């Protein structure tokens, strides 16, 4: 494997050097030279206007993947409650399956599942594989991965998706490692290359500075974890079941509740005794006290360095309360101990997409933007007219937040003109 610059066409324009994140390109005597820092990310190939750079010598395999069909979604649940990302993935999976003209499968593991899972069937699922057993009571990656691997080997999905949650980001790598296939982490957009019928997995890197599109090149299924709260939930009224899977189902266990969906459910066979875990779960506790879950709110009012100190966060809280929202913060504010870590939005904090995101005194470091730029509406209040936050905001106010926010609170509370 080699990366080469065709020096007959290279003009030494340095476009490639400017995009290289690894300091791997030097322009020497008017030609680009690639040094040993190169990680073969391909950024320079895209940047080169003269098509002078290419990567050669990648072992190409031409395996036949025709046995792999359908989109399978791992549906994560906690105590029988489906995590939102499950619905988001089913929505996205349905779209991909439609393009590929194939089936959408869900796979759900848990214990004492009940009607709480009914929502799954609102998303156009062709078949839901279920394992309801005490061994799946807790989300443990070894027992879960074992059954997922069995399912993937048996049903051979072409695409396998899971949520990029704490559990998903531990479980799916393990599954991928066992199956020996690629896994793309934390995708924010998925699409299909319709010429080749392959999955294009797009994800932010460098804290959202750049996006990379990744393919799985010589193994199946094509696996990806998908960042929660990025894909839209879109329930569909689907009545037709995909032709291919119509005739081979039977329900192995009965629960009254399942009857309603019996044409779409299959209980998986597995040898219960062979499932052993290396993890001894000693305790679980809901995070309380300092716990707040930013993603539960439609309105987030965030403060950054411009807040100036811990006491001034009361002002942000007041505005958040007036709007029925929650307080967020930039890393600068959290690192200064003005507010606790669970409030942090951004690359190293929470990724959020509320209906309204109000950024007060946040300049908009790229790491912060990475965590909130998919919010529906972004309102920025900042003293500095050149602050990067205004580049992604829908509405901007250049001004002192200590003049703006109290007026806004008053305005909202009184409902009258100022």
Partner 1 sequence: MSEIFRIIVCIKQVPGTTEIKINPETNTLVREGVETIINPFDSYAIEEGVRIKERFVSTGSSADDIEVVALTMGPPQAESMLREAISLGADRAVLLSDRVFAGADTWATALTLKHAIKKFEKYNIIIFGKQTLDGDTGQVGPELAHMLHIPFIGYASSIEEIDNRKMTVKRLAEDRYETFEIRLPAAISVGKDINVPRVPSLRGKLRAKNEKIPVWSASELDMDENHAGLSGSYTQVIKIFTPKHLYEVKMMEGGPDEQVEELFGKLKEINVL
Partner 2 sequence: MHYFLTEEQQMIVDICRQIVKERIIPARAELDEKGIFPKEIIDEIAKSDLFRLFVPEEYGGMGTGIFEVCLATEELSRGCLSVATTYAASGLGFIPIIVMGNEEQKQKYLPALAEGSKLAAFGLTEPEAGSDAAAIRTKAVKDGDFYILNGTKQWITNGGEADVYTIFAVTNPDKGARGVSALIVEKGTPGFEFGKKENKLGIRASATRELIFTDCRVPAENRLGSEGMGFITAMRTFDQSRPAVGAQGVGVAQAALEVALDYSKVRKQFGAAISSFQAIQHMLADMATQVEAARALVYHAAKVMDSGEKNVAKLSAMSKLFASDVAMKVTIDAIQILGGYGYMKEYPVEKMMRDAKITQIYEGTNQIQRNVIALELIKRGVF
Tell me if 27 contacts partner 1 by CB under 8 A. Answer: no
Tell me if 170 contacts partner 1 by CB under 8 A. Answer: yes
> Cβ 394 to partner 1, closest distance in Å?
6
End-to-end CA distance of the chain: 68
127 or 350: CB nearest partner 1: 350
Tell me if 337 contacts partner 2 by CB under 8 A. Answer: yes
Instruction: Using CB under 8 A, count the residues that bind partner 1.
Output: 108
Question: How many angstroms separate the CA atoms of 53 and 110, rounded?
Answer: 50
Tell me the Cα Rg of the chain: 25
Q: Binders of partner 2 among 304-333, rule CB under 8 A?
A: 308
- Token readout for 166 is 């704490």
Tell me if 393 contacts partner 1 by CB under 8 A. Answer: yes
Q: Binders of partner 2 among 252-311, rule CB under 8 A?
A: 308
Tell me if 335 contacts partner 2 by CB under 8 A. Answer: yes
Tell me if 209 contacts partner 1 by CB under 8 A. Answer: yes
137 or 383: CB nearest partner 2: 383
Tell me if 348 contacts partner 2 by CB under 8 A. Answer: no
Question: How many angstroms separate the CA atoms of 143 and 146, rounded?
Answer: 5
Residue written as token pair 């062979």:
274
The Cα angle at residue 71 between residues 264 and 250, in degrees rounded to 5: 25
Instruction: Using CB under 8 A, count the residues that bind partner 2.
Output: 4
Binding segment for partner 1 (CB under 8 A), chosen from 116-124, 136-144, 239-247, 265-273, is: 136-144
Question: How many angstroms separate the CA atoms of 296 and 300, rounded?
Answer: 10
Distances in Å between the Cα of 338 and the Cα atoms of 125, 307, 364, 379 are 46, 9, 18, 22
Q: Binders of partner 1 among 257-286, rule CB under 8 A?
A: 278-286
Find out whether 328 and 300 touch, Cβ atoms under 8 Å.
yes
* Interface residue with partner 1, options 356, 359, 360, 362 (CB under 8 A): 356
54 or 384: CB nearest partner 2: 384
- Token readout for 418 is 């100022």
| Number of other residues whose CB lies within 10 A of the CB of residue 417 | 5
β-pairing verdict for 25-28 and 299-303: unpaired
Question: How many angstroms separate the CA atoms of 400 and 195, rounded?
Answer: 53
202 or 348: CB nearest partner 2: 348
Tell me if 387 contacts partner 1 by CB under 8 A. Answer: no
337 binds, among partner 1, partner 2, none (CB under 5 to 8 A by kind): partner 2
Tell me if 37 contacts partner 1 by CB under 8 A. Answer: yes
> Cβ 246 to partner 1, closest distance in Å?
33
Tell me if 236 contacts partner 1 by CB under 8 A. Answer: no
Tell me if 119 contacts partner 2 by CB under 8 A. Answer: no
Instruction: Give the helix ranges, DSSP H, for 346-396.
Output: 366-372, 389-392
Tell me if 377 contacts partner 1 by CB under 8 A. Answer: yes
Find out whether 184 and 156 touch, Cβ atoms under 8 Å.
no
Binding segment for partner 1 (CB under 8 A), chosen from 36-44, 62-70, 102-110, 303-311, is: 36-44
185 or 265: CB nearest partner 1: 185
Question: How many angstroms separate the CA atoms of 205 and 194, rounded?
Answer: 25
Tell me if 217 contacts partner 1 by CB under 8 A. Answer: yes
Distances in Å between the Cα of 416 and the Cα atoms of 319, 386, 407 are 16, 32, 11
Binding segment for partner 2 (CB under 8 A), chosen from 77-85, 148-156, 180-188, 334-342, is: 334-342
Question: How many angstroms separate the CA atoms of 69 and 401, rounded?
Answer: 55
* Interface residue with partner 2, options 336, 388, 392, 399 (CB under 8 A): 336
* Footprint on this chain of partner 2 (rule: CB under 8 A): 308, 335-337
């Amino acid at each position: 494997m080699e990366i080469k610059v065709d020096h007959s066409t290279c003009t030494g324009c340095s476009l490639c050097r400017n995009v290289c994140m690894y300091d791997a390109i030097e322009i020497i005597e008017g030609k680009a030279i690639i040094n040993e820092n190169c990680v073969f990310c391909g950024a320079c190939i895209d940047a080169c206007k003269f098509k002078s750079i290419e990567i050669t010598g990648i072992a190409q395999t031409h395996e036949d993947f025709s046995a792999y069909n359908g989109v399978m979604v791992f549906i994560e649940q906690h105590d029988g409650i489906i995590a939102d990302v499950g619905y988001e993935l089913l929505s996205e999976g349905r779209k991909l399956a439609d393009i590929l003209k194939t089936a959408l499968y869900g796979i759900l593991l848990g214990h004492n599942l009940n009607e709480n899972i009914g929502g799954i069937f609102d998303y156009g699922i062709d078949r839901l594989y279920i394992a309801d057993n005490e061994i799946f009571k807790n989300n443990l990656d070894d027992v879960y991965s074992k059954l997922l691997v069995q399912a993937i080997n048996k049903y051979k999905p072409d695409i396998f998706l899971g949520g990029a949650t704490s559990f998903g980001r531990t479980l799916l790598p393990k599954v991928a490692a066992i199956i020996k296939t690629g896994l793309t982490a934390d995708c924010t957009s998925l699409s299909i290359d319709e010429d080749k019928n392959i999955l294009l997995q797009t994800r932010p890197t460098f804290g959202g500075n750049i996006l990379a599109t990744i393919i799985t090149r010589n193994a199946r299924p094509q696996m990806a974890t998908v960042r929660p709260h990025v894909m839209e939930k879109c329930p569909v009224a689907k009545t037709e079941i995909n032709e291919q899977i119509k005739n081979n189902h039977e329900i192995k266990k009965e629960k009254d509740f399942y009857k309603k969906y019996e044409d779409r459910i299959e209980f998986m066979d597995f040898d219960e005794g062979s499932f052993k875990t290396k993890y001894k779960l000693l305790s679980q506790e809901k995070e309380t006290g300092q716990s707040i879950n930013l993603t539960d709110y439609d309105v987030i009012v965030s403060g950054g360095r411009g807040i100036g100190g811990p006491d001034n966060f009361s002002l942000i809280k007041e505005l958040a309360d007036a709007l029925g929202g929650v307080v967020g913060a930039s890393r600068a504010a959290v690192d200064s101990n003005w507010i606790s870590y669970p409030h942090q939005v951004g690359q190293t904090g929470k990724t959020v997409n509320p209906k309204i995101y109000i950024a007060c005194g946040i300049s908009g470091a790229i790491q912060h933007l990475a965590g909130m730029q998919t919010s529906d509406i972004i309102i920025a209040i900042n003293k500095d007219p050149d602050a990067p936050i205004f580049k992604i905001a829908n509405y901007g106010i250049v001004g002192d937040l200590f003049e703006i926010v109290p007026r806004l609170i008053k305005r909202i509370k009184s409902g009258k003109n100022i």
